[in-house]
Every structure is written in C-alpha cells, then in structure tokens.
C-alpha cells in the first residue's frame, strides 16, 4: 500500500494491462458481471435521486397524524 | 458459456441463415476484444442488410422476427438476448462501412465472432466523440493496442486528422 501517486498510477496501468491479456472468454464473462454491477448501481442511484416519486416514510406519516 | 457468448452464437445464426449479410461487433463489447473489459449495458452490432431487389427501405423487422421466434424479447429499439439488450445498427457513415468490411474474425469459445479492428473502433470513438468515447480512445492508446500507422491512415481517409490533432493536444500533450 502506498500513497505515492506515481506508483499508484503505474499499479493501475499494470492491472489494466494484466486484465487486457486475460483469455477472451474470461474477459467476456467479466462483461456479464460488470453489467450486473452497473445495473445495480444505476438502480441505487435512481432510488436515491431526490426527484424520484416516493411514499412518505412511515415515521413522518406518524408525526403528521400527531399534529 | 457466458451470456455474451450466447449473444454472439445467436448473431452468428442470423448470418448463417441469411437474415443479414454480414455483422460486426462494435462499441464497448468490441473494445473488450483488445483491451481490458469495458463496462457496458448493451451490445452494439453493426449489420449489412441482405439486399432484396423488391425492397428499397431498410427494415429491422426480419431480424426482430427471427430473434423473437428464438426467445429474444423486444424492448424499444433493442432485442434482449440472454439478458443482454442488443442493438442492431446499419452502417451510418463511410467509416462504419469500412469498419464492417475490414472486421476481424476472432474465435470465442470455439465459435467465430466478427469484431471491428482496434484501429476502426478507436476511429469510430474519435468520430462519435462523447466523453465515454474519448475515455475509450485513451484506453486504446494507453494499452498500446493500436497500430498507429494504420489508425492514422483510417483517420486521413475519413477526414478525422484535424480532430485527432485536437485530441492529441487536449489529452496527450505532456503524457509520458
């Protein structure tokens, strides 16, 4: 582990080169996994977006009824 | 067999059964043949439609009919095959026409897959020019996957040399 930016970038580049050299079938299988992750992230972002229509959380509903 | 390999097998059938004349994979899936896997949500398949004397309008209908009869599901402009949305695209520019004609055949799990060459993928990325295309072009350059002489010659043929110089100036000047 290092906080030397130059070494970090070199390490990232080396990892990418290593991945690029993996057998093609393996790289294509990675695409399946990457897509599943990308979809999960997209769904999470959609859910947390302020403009998304959402039911009033139960806690706040109860607070309103008290008023 | 990965889901994406199942997609390739189905596209091969489209060609073998004469529904399309020729295909080649482009986009992020195409790039993955040359560089590290590139996250994407869909598969771009460029197709040469089969010529029919009595038809002058290009239609995706024969492709959609063929694939839905074999389990594909239509979703907007995509056909979902093995869980992957696949978009079939006509050659929209002389560059893409050339990319389709020069595409390489690569063996994937003992079946053929036709894919744009690395140089054509990079040239199409430069031409398309969205931020993600520029990022992909940088990945191609960093990885050393491009034959630069061939790449420059494609750019010259398709009037992209100025755009390339601008890209170099913006992203590569001072790069080590």
Give residue limits of the domains in chain B. Answer: 3-116, 119-172
Q: Does A30 touch chain B (CB under 8 A)?
A: yes
Q: Does A19 touch chain B (CB under 8 A)?
A: yes
pLDDT, residue B114, reads: 98
Select the CATH number that applies to the domain covering B3-116 from these four: 3.40.50.2300, 3.40.190.10, 3.30.460.40, 3.40.640.10.
3.30.460.40
- Report CB contact under 8 Å: B2, A29: yes
Which residues on chain B are in Cβ contact (under 8 Å) with A31?
Answer: 2, 4, 29, 32, 37-40
Burial of B102 per CB tally in 10 Å (0-12, 13-18, 19+): middle
pLDDT, residue A42, reads: 87
Distance from CA of B51 to the nearest CA of A (A): 32
Q: What is the pTM of this model?
A: 0.86
Residue range B134-157, pLDDT digits in tens = 999 999 999 999 999 999 999 999
pLDDT, residue B119, reads: 98
Residue B56 confidence class, pLDDT cut points 50, 70, 90: low
Nearest chain B residue (CA) to A26: B2
Residue range A34-65, pLDDT digits in tens = 999 989 998 888 888 766 565 555 555 545 55
Residue A11 confidence class, pLDDT cut points 50, 70, 90: very high
Nearest chain A residue (CA) to B83: A32
Mean pLDDT computed over B19-42: 95
- Report CB contact under 8 Å: B41, A35: yes
Q: Does A16 touch chain B (CB under 8 A)?
A: yes
Q: Which of A41-55, B56-70, B111-125 has the lowest mean pLDDT?
A: A41-55
Residue B22 has pLDDT above 90, yes or no: yes
- Closest partner residue to B37 (CB to CB) among A13, A17, A27 is A27
Tell me what the pLDDT averaged over chain B comes to.
Answer: 93
Q: Does A52 touch chain B (CB under 8 A)?
A: no
Which residues on chain B are in Cβ contact (under 8 Å) with A37?
Answer: 39
Mean pLDDT computed over B157-171: 97
Residue A29 confidence class, pLDDT cut points 50, 70, 90: very high
Mean pLDDT computed over B84-89: 96
Residue B49 has pLDDT above 90, yes or no: no
Mean pLDDT computed over B112-132: 97
Q: Tally Cβ neighbours within 10 Å of residue B68.
A: 13
Which residues on chain B are in Cβ contact (under 8 Å) with A24?
Answer: 33, 106, 108
Mean pLDDT computed over B118-136: 97
Q: Is B129 helix (H, G, I), strand (E, B) or coil?
A: coil
Contacts of B113 (CB under 8 A, 6+ apart): B8, B12, B25, B33, B105, B106, B107
Report the alpha-carbon distance of residue A38 to residue A41 in Å, rounded.
Answer: 5
pLDDT, residue B72, reads: 96
State the ipTM, two decimals.
0.87
Q: What is the per-residue DSSP string for A4-65?
A: -HHHHHHHHHHHHHHHHTS-HHHHHHHHHHHHHHHHHHHHHHHHH-TTS--PPPHHHHHHHH
Distance from CA of A47 to the nearest CA of B (A): 19
Give residue limits of the domains in chain A. Answer: 23-48
């Amino acid at each position: 582990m290092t906080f030397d930016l130059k070494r970090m970038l070199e390490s990232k580049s080396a990892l990418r080169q290593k991945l690029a050299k993996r057998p093609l079938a393996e790289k294509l299988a990675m695409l399946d996994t990457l897509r599943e992750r990308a979809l999960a992230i997209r769904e999470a972002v959609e859910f947390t977006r302020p403009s998304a229509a959402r039911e009033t959380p139960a806690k706040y509903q109860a607070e309103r009824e008290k008023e | 067999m990965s889901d994406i390999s199942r997609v390739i097998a189905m596209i091969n059938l489209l060609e073998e059964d004469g529904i399309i004349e020729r295909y080649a994979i482009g986009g992020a899936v195409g790039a993955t043949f040359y560089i590290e896997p590139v996250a994407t949500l869909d598969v771009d398949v460029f197709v040469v439609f089969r010529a029919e004397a009595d038809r002058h309008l290009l239609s995706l209908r024969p492709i959609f009919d063929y694939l839905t009869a074999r389990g594909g599901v239509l979703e907007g402009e995509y056909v979902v095959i093995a869980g992957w949305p696949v978009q079939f695209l006509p050659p929209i520019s002389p560059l893409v026409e050339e990319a389709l004609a020069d595409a390489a055949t690569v063996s994937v799990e003992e079946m053929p897959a036709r894919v744009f060459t690395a140089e054509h993928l990079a040239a199409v990325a430069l031409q398309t020019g969205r931020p993600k295309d520029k990022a992909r072009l940088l990945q191609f350059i960093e990885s050393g996957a491009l034959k630069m002489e061939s790449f420059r010659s494609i750019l010259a043929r398709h009037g992209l040399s100025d755009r390339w110089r601008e890209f170099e100036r913006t992203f590569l000047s001072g790069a080590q």
